[in-house]
């Protein structure tokens, strides 16, 4: 997750009185990438758009917009999921999640996380990444990472024992949704499938290490 009780519901159904969630089409995803994502994420953390487009066009990407549930429908936040076929439904990885700066602390992120499965109702697994506080450069960065971790845990997301080193970054792996947690070995295998799709084989071998702590 770069900076998150199943019930059947379509992706553009209102999940609370404040927000409306809808799937983005490819032109809208491109516009999001060229504007908001450039402001919300360091360049080093952004996939090249052609890779996002490839994932989208092959059914391996689900971009969701979280909008103001009023007449203006302002974009308040967005959540971009990668997905892989599972035995029943799909495995999902929360690839990018960001809330509009002026809305941070307003509860928009919490509203979405608590209703997340209503908009990906075929999810067998929902995983996410957070930067590992143990590898922070200084106390200030560690505090930011711990606050981010606390936010997810406060909203029902579980921390697993799986860790990932990707292109020099260290991540802890989280699991959301469902009544049953997966084992660390299962999560490691699922996450490995995502990374193998994201990276060319040579880069995967050199830059990716998924392990159990």
Range of the domain at 71: 19-212
- Which stretches of the chain are assigned E, i.e. beta strand? 19-23, 61-68, 75-85, 90-99, 123-131, 158-166, 169-176, 208-212
User: Does a structural domain hold residue 1?
Assistant: no
In a domain, 5, yes or no: no
User: Which pLDDT score, from 0 to 100, does residue 8 have?
Assistant: 32
Domain count within the chain: 1
Residue 212: the pLDDT is 98
Q: What is the pLDDT of residue 48?
A: 96
| Residue 13 domain flag | no
Q: Which pLDDT value is given to residue 1?
A: 59
Quick check: is 176 in a domain? yes
Alpha carbon distances (Å) from 75 to 31, 66, 98: 12, 6, 11
Q: What does each C-alpha distance from 126 to 1, 82, 188 come to in angstroms? A: 11, 10, 13
Neighbours of 174 (CB within 10 A): 22
**What pLDDT score does 181 carry?**
79
- Look up the pTM and report it: 0.88
* Cα–Cα–Cα angle for 72, 78, 79, rounded to 5 degrees: 150
What local confidence, expressed as pLDDT, does residue 70 receive? 79
CATH at 138: 3.40.630.30
What pLDDT is recorded for position 179?
54
Domain-located, residue 77 = yes
pLDDT of residue 88: 85
6 is a domain residue: no
pLDDT for residue 12: 40
User: Does residue 63 form part of some domain?
Assistant: yes
pLDDT at residue 72, as a whole number: 74
| pLDDT lower than 50: segments of the chain | 4-16
Inside any domain, residue 70: yes
The pLDDT assigned to 73 comes to: 81
């Amino acid at each position: 997750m770069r900076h998150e009780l199943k019930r059947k519901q379509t992706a553009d159904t209102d999940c609370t009185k404040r927000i409306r969630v809808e799937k983005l089409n490819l032109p809208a995803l491109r516009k999001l990438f060229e504007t908001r994502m450039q402001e919300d994420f360091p360049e080093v953390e952004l996939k090249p758009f052609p890779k996002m487009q490839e994932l989208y066009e092959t059914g391996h990407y689900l971009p969701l917009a979280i909008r103001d549930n009023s007449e203006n429908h302002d974009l308040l936040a967005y959540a971009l999921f990668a997905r892989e076929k599972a035995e029943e439904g799909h495995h999902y990885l929360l690839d990018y999640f960001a809330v509009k700066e002026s809305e941070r602390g307003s509860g928009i992120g919490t509203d979405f996380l608590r209703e997340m499965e209503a908009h990906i109702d075929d999810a067998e697994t929902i995983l996410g990444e957070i930067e590992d506080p143990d590898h922070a450069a200084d106390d200030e960065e560690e505090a930011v990472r711990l606050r981010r971790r606390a936010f997810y845990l406060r909203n029902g997301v579980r921390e697993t024992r799986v860790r990932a080193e990707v292109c020099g970054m260290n991540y802890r792996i989280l699991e959301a949704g469902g009544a049953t947690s997966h084992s660390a070995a299962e999560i490691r295998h699922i996450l490995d499938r995502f990374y193998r799709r994201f990276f060319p084989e040579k880069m995967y071998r050199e830059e990716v290490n998924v392990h159990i702590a």
